[in-house]
Amino acid sequence: MQSELRTILAKAIKQRASDIYFLPKDDYFSVGFSLAGKYYFQSKLPLVVGQQCLNYLKFKADMSLSEQRRPQLGAWVYKWQGEVIFCRLSTVGDFLNRESLVIRLIYDGVKQQQGYFFSDQWELVRTACQKRGMIIFAGPMGSGKTSAMYYFARQLQDKQVLCIEDPIEIYEPDFLQLQVNDKALMGYADLLKVALRHHPDVFIIGEVRDEGTAQAVVRAALSGHLILTTVHAQSALGVVERLENLGLSRADLNQTVQLISYQRLIPTCDGSVKVLFDQVDNQTLLTAKPTQRMSTEWGQRLEKCYQNKWISLEIQKKYQAG
């Protein structure tokens, strides 16, 4: 069983899959990967072997082996060829009490740096991290936002970094990491208020998802902190609309946001995937049209990827709108 599981994990990591799926069928488990937001079937496992894999993974992630119906979450650190992979596990049983499992793979930021098309886009974020204010990462699930935030935070020498996430996705012993627990009245806004008393230099905020968190993040940025956070939006300039819907004014954004970095995993001609950024600085925010979503540079970068034969014409057209 463990050999089959090691083979599945190795194949997923080599392809830089964002998720591994173990889905129960009538007489087997279907194994699939998510690559650049698209599901790909990989193989079938006999029911007995598949269930053994699930039990082994649940044990490693400190999840209950006896519970197969109710949803469970767990975390596990997997080492592969010297690389550390952070795994978030989620299980749930269907109406027939058949359990499924999904593993979210979160890769180390140093390795991730090798997976970007343009080094100057990476350097732009690194330079922005030397200043104060908000750097907002956006993009679909699995596009590497959390890995990027942690990578850039690790480069800030002699800085106290405090993380607030739901849940903590990457264990970093050099950071102070707080986990959201709404039932214990420890939401993002609550933890931010307490965290400010620790006087950190840098905040990693897992997600700005409500008005209270948005206001708290702005206050932290105005008080001189560097904030690395994510916002769910379908484009770089869509982040602005999302934050305005959460009660922030354009004046708030102009004073606090220094960079919005939207990223997509783009399939390449050699079968791998790489990240392309659409990056919007404060000056672009001031001049952007209300209906504009992606910057003009996004299309230009895609064209350059195609001209360099990194991506196909089909992929260029598919991602033209972000």
CATH number of the 109-318 domain: 3.40.50.300
Region 293-307: mean pLDDT is 90
Q: Which segments of the chain belong to CATH 3.30.450.90?
A: 2-107
Residue 190 has pLDDT above 90, yes or no: no
CA distance 68 to 221: 44
Q: With contact defined as beta carbons under 8 Å apart, do 252 and 218 qualify?
A: yes
DSSP string, 51-113: HHHHHHHHHHTT--SS--SS-EEEEEEEEETTEEEEEEEEEEE-TT--EEEEEEEEE-HHHHG
- Mean pLDDT, residues 274-281 taken together: 90
In Å, how far are 193, 210, 256, 282 from 215, measured between CA atoms?
11, 9, 11, 19
Contact 112, 95 (CB under 8 A): no
**Dist. CA 293–CA 321, nearest whole Å:** 8
Percentage of the chain with pLDDT > 90?
51
Assess if CATH 3.30.450.90 describes domain 2-107.
yes
Closest-CA residue to 51 (of 13, 101, 105): 101
Give me 37's structure tokens. 């937001």
Q: What is the pLDDT of residues 224-250, one digit of tens each?
A: 899 999 998 888 888 988 999 999 988
The predicted-structure confidence for 131-185, as pLDDT tens digits, reads as follows 999 999 998 887 888 888 999 999 898 899 999 988 888 888 899 999 888 777 7
The CATH 3.40.50.300 domain(s) of the chain lie at 109-318
Per DSSP, which regions of the chain are E strands? 19-24, 28-35, 38-46, 72-80, 83-93, 99-107, 133-138, 161-165, 176-179, 202-205, 226-230, 257-267, 273-281
Q: In what order do the strands lie in the sheet with 202-205?
A: 176-179, 161-165, 202-205, 226-230, 133-138, 257-267, 273-281
Distances (CA, A) of 12 to 31, 92, 117, 241, 276: 11, 22, 21, 35, 21
What is the distance in angstroms between the CA of the first residue and the CA of the last residue of the chain?
A: 41
Q: Which tokens hold the place of 33?
A: 């990967």
Query: pLDDT confidence of 53, banded at 50, 70, 90?
Result: very high
Average pLDDT over residues 78-96: 90
SS3 of residue 46 by DSSP: strand
